[in-house]
């Protein structure tokens, strides 16, 4: 019997893939063999992955719905971007960028804690709407800032860091974000966090410090959103506050959801694919045709979510799913010890995402073995 | 004379005008198996909810080992040494059996490891993880779930889910373990086995056990002392055979 | 005088928001889902109005057609996108609703392009003014105010006194029990979507009377704001949605009048939302529920 089952190759494959990609593409870029358009795509993919992974901490592992992730990013982009802009003439671009990451990340994390505080009192859809409100407040404040401070409606000028290596820095950021997220989730603290998602009442009764973990997750998640914001600012010549409205938050949420709740690799793939397609399709579909992309995107989203979640399609899903098909090709190694226990199945999560449960903690899980006893007279 | 672990004094709670529990005085001695029985709606689970911090009592207080815990939060009360199971099972359904127990071990001082240590994967992280797993396996062995440890908890049959909940509560190293209808939904064989497990737990972990149960055979076969509640007030207290033959109690159960 | 005008304007805008908020709140109360696509139903109503006006030039006909199209659309969306997900995780339903929202917006853009269309409900010159004593109020404000009050009264009476209305309350309280009592829950959910969407058509009409420019994102921001209104009032509560709508309408109107505040309207509205939720986590008229442990 192996003693350290938590060391699984699948847990580390994402580091390997991203590191190899960073090295290979980095060399190509420094040799001059990587076209600028690909450098830009890579920058955007790295930003999207950072955002998706950090959001998946809140949505996938803590189980709270956040619709304001772009708001944290906005804080990072403006405040961290400002630091880079002000300091880079005197201390050079790279030190300024690193300092920008720290400042943008920390300020976003502080906002995360401020938004995490209502998370202790509110839950479900109500919390979602507070995060949405936060996001809208942030960008509208920057929008109305004076021209000297943050550029107001015109946007704030930023330092465009050299394309040749910004994407390498961005991929390193992705690696750090991944390491922090995965190490945290795959530790006793991660178990505590997922226990809050699975059953908050039971978590409290088991002595888990719910306050501490909620705030920590919000802070860490916001920190990386802030860092992603600084990256975005550095990959453009200006930042526009309108970009960070709720549509952007939802785009990030979609990546997390399509990747699978609590499935980090899934979120990474979804983020990379969506960003890649977005940019590629933009060059193909120009002008009024550009909207075709949104149309297809919306349809795919609806179909996938219905396919994955409709109770009526359960039998069909179990018969023809990717894992089973794969298992037929590759010899099945899925003995229970490989159970992906940090991944959540939607139909098993007693989602807190329901508004009338505001003061309560979770909804009864109806599995065949737990008869619903809520109506039993003994309270 | 063994010492008193849990003492409630005039404990009571009302929701609006409804007095769910009133004037409850309990004295539970160390290593005792104490039963709380009564018809549906008698307020038994409400008592549990008060002494585990889910509800704040409106009157009276309760003490654990002489320390007043009235009004403390659920987490704090758990840290002080009261653990519980739930009438409608509340497991962490997305987790394997062993992870459920590992969550229970989270706050044990011997498994201390800060978030920073975990994030940077310092040596203590690995040491703690390994030690926690060993300890979790031991606890699972006591309730007979060691072989199921890598299954998802929601895939366990009902009786085993109840046992897992007990194991998780036990992992928090409580002084007082509160079991809310541990035998509900079990067949006679499982119930008999559970009685052995409960006794075994008490002896091996030196824990005092307070339990709610409807199965009178279970209660009279297991408990040293019981309290019968009806409409939130105490009907009878004492040895099971004495308390259950009290005319008031018989009236409450049979009606009339 | 200016104060009274502002108040009347606020009530009128509040009426529009209340119309939309009612849609959110009723659907939430009955189907327990956040219909993020609700705002875009308004936009579809707007385009229906635009097409009818271009064809027949009759705004009343346009309104009637808009109500019909929106009702049909609301019911279709419910049947196609939300019904298969009944019983699934609320998050899944929410994401689907977001998908529907994108779908409607992009379809509208494909059909009508992204260029704004002008919808002059009262002809090119607008609807003019009504003067009462010293007060000079735009006609569309009065129309909006009167219509929304009438609709709200009718809706309240409908819910309170008709069989269908009472069935709606029953379903929102306890779906399972309502079904056992012989209520056709699916039918009630369909009716709720129909009513909500019809109200959205009215809201679209009011909005276009106020400012004639129509794009495919017409309903997006008002939708979010009305949702905020519904939450402030206590989602699931019909009087709450009306109150919340008026509240948001009033804040917005006042913020536009006070010098220097106009730009911060959005920030102020959402700040109010956060404060209300922190003080009363279920909104002003929302019900508190407690789960059994």
Token pair recorded at residue C110: 């494909």
What pLDDT does residue A346 have?
Answer: 44
HSE-CB for A39 with a 13 A CA cutoff: 21
**What strands lie across the sheet with B233-238, from one edge to the other?**
B82-84, B176-180, B208-212, B33-37, B225-230, B233-238
Token pair recorded at residue C256: 């536009």
The mean pLDDT of chain C is 89
- CA–CA gap between residue C114 and residue C217 (Å, rounded): 9
Taking an 8 Å cut-off on Cβ atoms, the answer to whether A349 and C86 are in contact is no
Averaged pLDDT, B170-187: 92
Of A253, A257, A311, the CB nearest to C88: A311
Q: Report long-range pairs for C59-67 (Cβ below 8 Å, ≥24 apart).
A: C59/C121, C59/C122, C59/C205, C62/C121, C62/C205, C63/C201, C63/C202, C63/C205, C66/C201, C66/C204, C66/C205, C67/C198, C67/C201, C67/C202
Token pair recorded at residue C121: 């409900």
The mean pLDDT of chain B is 91
What pLDDT does residue A31 have?
Answer: 86
Mutate to test the interface with A, among C39, C95, C229 (most CBs of A within 10 A): C95
Instruction: Tell me the nearest-neighbour CA distance from B3 into chain A, angstroms.
Output: 25
The mean pLDDT of chain A is 81
Mutate to test the interface with A, among C35, C80, C97, C98 (most CBs of A within 10 A): C98
- Rg (alpha carbons) of chain C, rounded to whole number: 19
What pLDDT does residue A327 have?
Answer: 62
Taking an 8 Å cut-off on Cβ atoms, the answer to whether A189 and B87 are in contact is no
Strands (E), C99-227: 117-118, 129-132, 135-138, 213-214
Map out the domains of chain A as residue ranges.
Answer: 9-357
Instruction: Tell me the nearest-neighbour CA distance from A204 into chain B, angstroms.
Output: 5
Taking an 8 Å cut-off on Cβ atoms, the answer to whether C281 and A122 are in contact is yes
Class of the CATH-defined domain A9-357: mainly alpha
DSSP 3-state percent helix, strand, coil across chain B (nearest 5): 45, 25, 30
* CATH architecture of the domain with residue range B1-81+174-256: 3-Layer(aba) Sandwich (3.40)
Query: Which ranges in B106-157 belong to alpha helices (H)?
Result: 115-119, 123-143
Contact of B29 with B208, CB cutoff 8 Å: yes
Q: Where is pLDDT greater, at C78 or A297?
A: C78
Q: Is A367 on the interface with B (CB under 8 A)?
A: yes
Among chain B residues, the shortest Cα distance to A338 is held by: B150
Predicted confidence (pLDDT) per residue in C117-161, tens digit: 998 887 777 777 888 777 888 888 888 999 999 999 999 999 999
Token pair recorded at residue B102: 């590992």
Averaged pLDDT, B168-193: 92
Secondary structure (3-state) at A8: coil
- Report in angstroms the alpha-carbon separations of A278 from A41, A45, B158, C74: 10, 10, 48, 29
Contact of A217 with A61, CB cutoff 8 Å: yes
- CA–CA gap between residue C209 and residue C3 (Å, rounded): 22
Taking an 8 Å cut-off on Cβ atoms, the answer to whether B83 and A350 are in contact is no
- Report in angstroms the alpha-carbon separations of A241 from A71, A233, A238, B32: 10, 11, 10, 65
Of A180, A208, A341, the CB nearest to B95: A341
Which of C204, C244, C8 minimizes the C-alpha distance to C121? C204
- CA–CA gap between residue A86 and residue C17 (Å, rounded): 43
- DSSP state string for A86-97: HHHHHH-HHHHH
Which residue reads 């008709």 in tokens?
Answer: C162
- CA–CA gap between residue B117 and residue A245 (Å, rounded): 36
Strand-pair category, C129-132 with B225-230 = unpaired
- CA–CA gap between residue A267 and residue A73 (Å, rounded): 18
Give the pLDDT band of residue B105 (cuts 50, 70, 90).
very high
Among chain A residues, the shortest Cα distance to C109 is held by: A291
Contact of B215 with B183, CB cutoff 8 Å: yes
What pLDDT does residue A371 have?
Answer: 32
Give the pLDDT band of residue C167 (cuts 50, 70, 90).
very high
Q: Is A283 on the interface with B (CB under 8 A)?
A: no
What pLDDT does residue A365 have?
Answer: 31
Contact of B96 with B150, CB cutoff 8 Å: yes
Taking an 8 Å cut-off on Cβ atoms, the answer to whether B45 and A204 are in contact is no
Map out the domains of chain B as residue ranges.
Answer: 1-81+174-256, 93-172
- CA–CA gap between residue B174 and residue B206 (Å, rounded): 9
Instruction: Tell me the nearest-neighbour CA distance from C178 into chain A, angstroms.
Output: 15
Residues of chain B contacting A4 with CB distance shorter than 8 Å: 130
Give the pLDDT band of residue B102 (cuts 50, 70, 90).
very high
Residues of chain C contacting A317 with CB distance shorter than 8 Å: none
- CA–CA gap between residue A233 and residue A254 (Å, rounded): 22
Instruction: Tell me the nearest-neighbour CA distance from A371 into chain C, angstroms.
Output: 15
- A–C CB contacts, 8 A cutoff, strictly below: 167
Task: Give CA angle at B184 (B180, B188), nearest 5°.
Answer: 135
Predicted confidence (pLDDT) per residue in B26-79, tens digit: 999 999 999 999 888 888 999 999 999 999 999 999 999 999 999 899 999 999
Chains that touch B (3 or more CB pairs under 8 A): A, C
Residues 6+ away with beta carbon under 8 Å from A2: A337
Among chain B residues, the shortest Cα distance to A187 is held by: B118
Averaged pLDDT, B177-203: 91
- CA–CA gap between residue A17 and residue B147 (Å, rounded): 36
Q: What is the DSSP code (8-state) at residue B112?
A: -
Residues of chain B contacting A183 with CB distance shorter than 8 Å: 118-121
Residues of chain A where predicted confidence (pLDDT) is lower than 50: 1-6, 331-379
What residues pair up with C132 in beta bridges, in sequence order?
Answer: C135
Taking an 8 Å cut-off on Cβ atoms, the answer to whether B90 and A202 are in contact is yes
Predicted confidence (pLDDT) per residue in C236-261, tens digit: 888 999 999 999 999 999 988 888 88
Question: C-alpha A274: how far from its chain's center?
Answer: 13
Residues of chain C contacting A129 with CB distance shorter than 8 Å: 227-228, 231, 273, 277
What pLDDT does residue A48 have?
Answer: 97
- B–C CB contacts, 8 A cutoff, strictly below: 5
Which of B203, B205, B223, B204 minimizes the C-alpha distance to B213? B223
Instruction: Tell me the nearest-neighbour CA distance from B75 into chain A, angstroms.
Output: 4
């Amino acid at each position: 019997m192996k003693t350290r089952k938590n060391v699984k190759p699948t847990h580390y494959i994402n580091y390997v893939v991203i590191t190899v990609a960073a090295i290979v593409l980095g060399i190509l870029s420094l040799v001059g063999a990587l076209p600028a358009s690909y450098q830009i795509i890579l920058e955007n993919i790295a930003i999207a992955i950072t955002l998706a992974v950090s959001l998946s901490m809140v949505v996938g592992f803590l189980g709270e719905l956040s619709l304001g992730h772009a708001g944290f990013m906005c804080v990072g982009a403006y405040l961290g971007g400002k630091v880079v802009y002000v300091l880079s003439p005197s201390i050079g671009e790279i030190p300024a960028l690193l300092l920008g990451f720290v400042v943008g990340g920390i300020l976003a994390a502080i906002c995360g804690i401020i938004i995490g505080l209502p998370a202790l009192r509110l839950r479900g859809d109500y919390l979602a709407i507070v995060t949405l409100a936060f996001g809208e407040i942030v960008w509208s404040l920057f929008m109305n800032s004076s021209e000297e401070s943050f550029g107001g409606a015109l946007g704030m000028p930023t330092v465009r860091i050299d394309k040749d290596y910004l994407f390498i820095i961005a991929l390193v950021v992705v690696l750090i974000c991944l390491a922090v997220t995965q190490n945290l989730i795959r530790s006793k603290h991660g178990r505590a966090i997922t226990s809050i998602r699975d059953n908050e009442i039971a978590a409290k009764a088991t002595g888990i410090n719910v306050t501490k973990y909620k705030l920590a997750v919000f802070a860490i998640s916001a920190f990386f959103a802030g860092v992603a914001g600084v990256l975005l600012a550095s990959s453009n010549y200006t930042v526009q506050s309108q970009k960070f409205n709720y549509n952007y938050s939802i785009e990030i949420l979609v990546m997390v959801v399509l990747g699978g709740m609590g499935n980090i690799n899934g979120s990474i793939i979804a983020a990379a694919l969506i960003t890649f397609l977005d940019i590629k399709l933009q060059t193909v579909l120009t002008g009024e045709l550009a909207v075709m992309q949104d149309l297809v995107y919306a349809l795919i989203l609806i179909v996938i979510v219905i396919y994955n979640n409709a109770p009526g399609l359960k039998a069909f899903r179990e018969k023809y799913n990717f894992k089973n098909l794969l298992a037929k090709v590759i010899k099945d190694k899925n003995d229970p010890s490989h159970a992906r226990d940090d991944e959540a199945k939607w139909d098993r999560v007693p989602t807190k995402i329901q508004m009338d449960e505001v003061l309560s903690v979770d909804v009864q899980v109806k599995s065949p073995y737990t008869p619903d006893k809520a109506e039993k007279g003994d309270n | 004379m063994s010492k008193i672990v849990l003492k409630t004094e005039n404990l009571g709670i009302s929701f609006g005008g409804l007095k769910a529990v009133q004037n409850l005085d309990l004295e539970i001695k160390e290593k005792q198996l104490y039963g709380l029985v009564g018809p549906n709606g008698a307020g038994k689970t409400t008592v549990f909810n008060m002494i585990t911090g889910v509800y704040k009592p409106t009157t009276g207080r309760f003490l654990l080992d002489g320390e007043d815990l009235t009004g403390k939060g659920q987490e704090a009360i758990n840290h002080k040494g009261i653990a519980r199971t739930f009438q409608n099972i509340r497991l962490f359904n997305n987790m394997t059996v062993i992870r459920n127990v590992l969550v229970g071990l989270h706050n044990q001082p011997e498994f201390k490891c800060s978030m920073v240590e975990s994030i940077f994967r310092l040596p203590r992280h690995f040491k703690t993880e390994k030690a926690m797993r060993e300890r979790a396996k031991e606890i699972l062995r006591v309730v007979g779930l060691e072989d199921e440890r890598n299954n998802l908890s929601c895939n366990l049959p009902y009786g085993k889910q109840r046992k897992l909940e007990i194991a998780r509560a036990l992992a928090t190293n409580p002084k007082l373990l509160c079991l809310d209808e541990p035998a509900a939904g079990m067949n006679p064989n499982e119930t008999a086995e559970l009685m052995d497990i409960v006794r075994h737990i008490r002896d091996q972990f030196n824990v005092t056990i307070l339990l709610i149960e409807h199965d009178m055979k279970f209660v009279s076969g297991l408990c040293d002392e019981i309290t019968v509640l009806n409409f939130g007030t105490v009907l009878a207290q004492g040895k099971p055979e004495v308390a259950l033959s009290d005319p008031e109690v018989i009236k409450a159960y049979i009606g009339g | 005088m200016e104060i009274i005008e502002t108040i009347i304007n606020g009530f009128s805008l509040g009426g529009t928001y209340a119309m939309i908020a009612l849609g959110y709140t009723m659907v939430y109360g009955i189907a327990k889902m956040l219909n993020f696509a609700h705002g875009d139903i308004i936009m579809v109503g707007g385009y229906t109005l635009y097409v009818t006006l271009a064809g027949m030039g009759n705004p009343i006909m346009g309104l009637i057609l808009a109500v019909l199209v929106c009702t049909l659309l609301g019911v279709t969306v419910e049947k196609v996108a939300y019904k298969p997900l009944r019983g699934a995780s609320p998050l899944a339903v929410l994401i689907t609703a977001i998908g529907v929202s994108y779908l409607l917006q992009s379809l509208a853009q494909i059909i009508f392009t992204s260029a704004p269309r002008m919808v002059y409900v009262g002809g090119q010159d607008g609807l003019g003014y009504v003067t009462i004593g010293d007060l000079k109020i735009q006609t569309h404000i009065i129309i909006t105010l009167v219509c929304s009050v009438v609709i709200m009264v009718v809706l309240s009476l409908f819910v309170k006194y008709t069989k269908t209305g009472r069935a709606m309350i029953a379903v929102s309280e306890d779906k399972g029990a309502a079904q056992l009592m012989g209520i056709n829950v699916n039918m009630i959910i369909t009716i709720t979507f129909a009513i909500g969407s019809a109200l959205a058509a009215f809201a679209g009409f009011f909005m276009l009377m106020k400012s004639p420019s129509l794009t495919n994102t017409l309903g997006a921001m008002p939708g979010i704001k009305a949702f905020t209104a519904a939450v402030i009032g206590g989602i699931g509560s019909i009087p709450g949605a009306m109150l919340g709508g008026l509240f948001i309408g009033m804040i917005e109107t006042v913020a536009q009048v006070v010098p220097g505040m106009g730009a911060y309207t959005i920030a102020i509205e959402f700040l109010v939302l956060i404060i209300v939720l922190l003080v009363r986590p279920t909104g002003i008229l929302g019900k508190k529920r407690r789960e059994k442990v």
